Structure 1
Amino acid sequence: AEAVALGVRQPRLAFSFRFPEKDYIAFRSLADLMVDNRAYNGHTTGADTLWAGVPAVLTAGRHLAGRAGATFASALGTSSMVTTSLRAYEDSVFDLGSNPPRLTRMRRRLLDMRGTAPLFDLERLAQGQHRLAVAMWGVFAAGNLPMHIIAAR
């Protein structure tokens, strides 16, 4: 009701409950633009929406929960999607929302990156997680106190 009162036409909004897995990404792909919030970024939903080819306006928050969007953009090489101020965030949403050809180009680029972008390389992610687990076990097995372990890129 609030969005409609602000002038958003009803067919422009789509709310959902849980979907069967086979329909989940397809529903995400219906969006024109993902508008993430600064306090708590989309995380898994955000990554899935980017995988669906939906361009995004992301933020670089101060806390872990608010930095996922900037991390995703870094892994995609699309830092232009990240905003650092409320004004830039609003401007970016307005600019993209009123520029369908640019949204189409961004969507095409995201879809093209599915096979190459580190964000979508789940095998590489799993291998990195495995290396970290082996390193943590090595620290423990050697009788050392817990320590920070840095993951190499």
Structure 2
Amino acid sequence: MTATDPALTAIAQSWCALSLLHGKIEARIERALQAGHGLSAREYSLLDVLSRQHNGTGGHLQMKQVADAVVLSQSATTRLVTRLEDRGLLTRYLCDTDRRGIYTDVTEAGLTLLEAARPTNDTALRAALDEAAENPELAPLVRAVEELKVPV
């Protein structure tokens, strides 16, 4: 393939459309979460990921796993965790079996904020998808997102 190859150009256009859809969704969610709950979309995502872990063997996420789940570098994830910990929404603790391992749990205050923010997130997501569905370039992507069956 060359830079002028029609297949490459089509892939690049598709990637641009996907990036545009993502940007529109993230911006809508960001505005709604900031206005309603004082949370960024990344903070919400981190609280959501961590709230899904459970206690007991194999139930914790190491910081690298958390970074992968929220699509941030480990250093950016550490800064994000620190901000939420400073707000009393998270706590950190050492692993019982490996003192080098650091785990993070959502506090009761964090869970309360997450539950209050979840409908805001969901409403903003739906509104962003509905708006994007009106754009002929984005409508097929919206349908693909809506049809995805992701295990929870």
TM-score per shorter chain, which class?
under 0.3
Q: Of the two structures, which has the highest relative contact order with CA contacts closer than 8 Å and spacing of 6 or more?
A: 2
Compute the TM-score of the two structures, normalised by the length of structure 1.
0.28
Compute the TM-score of the two structures, normalised by the length of structure 2.
0.28
